[in-house]
Amino acid sequence: MGREIAFLAEFVGGSPTHAALELAAGAADLATQSGGSAVALAYGPGAKAAGSLGAAGASRVVLLGDDPSPAITHAAAAAAAAGELEPLAVLAPATPNGRDLAAALVGLLGLPAFGPVRAVRIEEGRVRTEQATLQGTVITVSEPTETAPATSVVLVLPSTFTPREGGSGSAAVAEAPKAEAGPLGKAKIVESHPAEAAVANLEEAHVIVAGGRGVGSADGFAILQELATALGGAVGASRAAADAGWVPYQLQIGQTGKVVKPALYVGCGISGAIQHRVGMQTAENVLAINKDPDAPIGEFADLFVVGDLFTILPKLTAEIRRRKGL
């Protein structure tokens, strides 16, 4: 008998998050291995329209709730849905909200938990995951024990799966089984402070130009933004730059910020401390520009340019524009 693969699908402002689209594609792939189908557990504003996830890979949708309350308040509904479906796995994005809901499932249902993982597969009807541990110095492969419950909770890093493109079709949407919201439902948002200017979503960026202490000021980030624009990407930062107030914390990459996996990461004036490295080390191509020839980033970048970013970046932006015929 086939087993379902469920995934958490968060909606914000009427649309699924990029993570939801990634997990829909991943769940659909895993469902072909488990002989079941991909089921979205959808929540957040706009989740009523989650039938659109059919085009992304979901076979059906269970609606946990579409109010804008904290993700954790949907925990009881998620547990009721997972209890009824008994999926082989519940995939959750390794974001703060995804982790909170995944953790609640672990606690409420006593489930084995994995991750954050960078690969997951089904072997002989069992979940097998690959995780980088100890700051990426080792990779561990894990699976549930013999006596573990039949559903595994798997935290998935951004860009582990690629969203489907050009899909079509709509998935049936059903309400989650009725459940009391319980104590976890008591957290509520009492104030909301959106930023005045739009903030880029680094998890979706194909190219990231990141700045660190060496950028020196908020104004210094302007030349990074110009290069990012020329490359069709977004600007990111180290914790030092975010702590200094040069950029919003939403742009921080690293252990306590975003984990990103762009096709190209350009580190400018970033030393490459381990806390930053764990947030970008799976980038496909790493270019680093730093004045310090001994900066740790020089040990793991693909191309390491020792030089002054304030001289090199404007010239590089001009050269890229010239070659593109702009």
* CB 27, min distance to other proteins, A: 20
Cα–Cα distance, 211 to 251 (Å, whole number): 10
Residue 19 makes contact with other proteins by CB under 8 A: no
Report the greatest alpha carbon distance in the chain. 63
Residue number with CB closer to other proteins (31 or 102): 102
> Residue 133, interface with other proteins (CB under 8 A)?
yes
| Beta carbon of residue 145, minimum distance to other proteins (angstroms, whole number) | 5
For residue 263, the one-letter residue type is A
The DSSP result for 30-78, as a single string, is: HHHHHEEEEEEEEESTTGGGGGGGGGGT-SEEEEEE-S-S-GGGGHHHH
Residue 310 token pair: 């304030």
Give the one residue of 186, 217, 218, 222 binding other proteins; rule: CB under 8 A.
Answer: 186
Contact window for other proteins (CB under 8 A) among 32-40, 46-54, 56-64, 304-312: 304-312
CA distance 96 to 78: 16
Q: Is 7 a residue that touches other proteins (CB under 8 A)?
A: no
293 near other proteins, judged by CB under 8 A: yes
Phi, psi at residue 20, to the nearest 5°?
-65, -40
The site string for other proteins over 232-251 (x = CB under 8 A, - otherwise) reads -------x---x-----xx-
Q: Which of 57, 70, 267, 269 binds other proteins (CB under 8 A)?
A: 70
| Cα gap 248→262, rounded to integer Å | 20
| 137 belongs to the binding site for other proteins (CB under 8 A) | yes
Q: Which is nearer to other proteins, 111 or 122 (CB)?
A: 111
How does 189-201 read in b/e, with b if 16+ C-beta sit within 10 Å? eeeeeeeeeeebe
Interacting residues with other proteins between 21 and 60 (CB under 8 A): none
Binding of residue 141 to other proteins (CB under 8 A): yes
Chain residues 188-207 in contact with other proteins, contact rule CB under 8 A: 188-195, 198-199, 201, 207
User: In the range 257-286, which residues lie near other proteins by CB under 8 A?
Assistant: 263-264, 274, 278, 285
Q: Are 8 and 102 within 8 A, CB to CB?
A: yes
Q: Which of 125, 149, 169, 245 binds other proteins (CB under 8 A)?
A: 149
- Count residues binding other proteins (CB under 8 A): 93
What is the sign of the dihedral through the CA atoms of 267, 155, 49 and 163? positive
Question: Which residues have CB under 8 Å from 39's CB, separation 6+?
Answer: 4, 5, 6, 7, 27, 58, 59, 60, 61, 62, 85, 87
By beta-carbon proximity to other proteins, the closer residue of 34 and 95 is 95
Q: Does residue 12 touch other proteins according to CB under 8 A? A: yes
Do 153 and 101 form a contact (C-beta atoms < 8 A)? no
Q: Which helix H or strand E contains 207, and what residues bound it?
A: strand 207-211
CB of 64 to other proteins, least distance (A): 15
User: Residue holding tokens 């659909």?
Assistant: 28
* Residue placing its CB nearer to other proteins in the complex, 28 or 41: 41
298 in contact with other proteins (CB under 8 A): yes
Binding part of the chain for other proteins, among 27-35, 136-144, 158-166, 217-225 by CB under 8 A, reads 136-144
Q: Is 168 in the site for other proteins (CB under 8 A)?
A: no
- Contacts to other proteins from residues 103-132, by CB under 8 A: 103-108, 110-116, 128, 132
Tokens at 162, concatenated: 């690629």
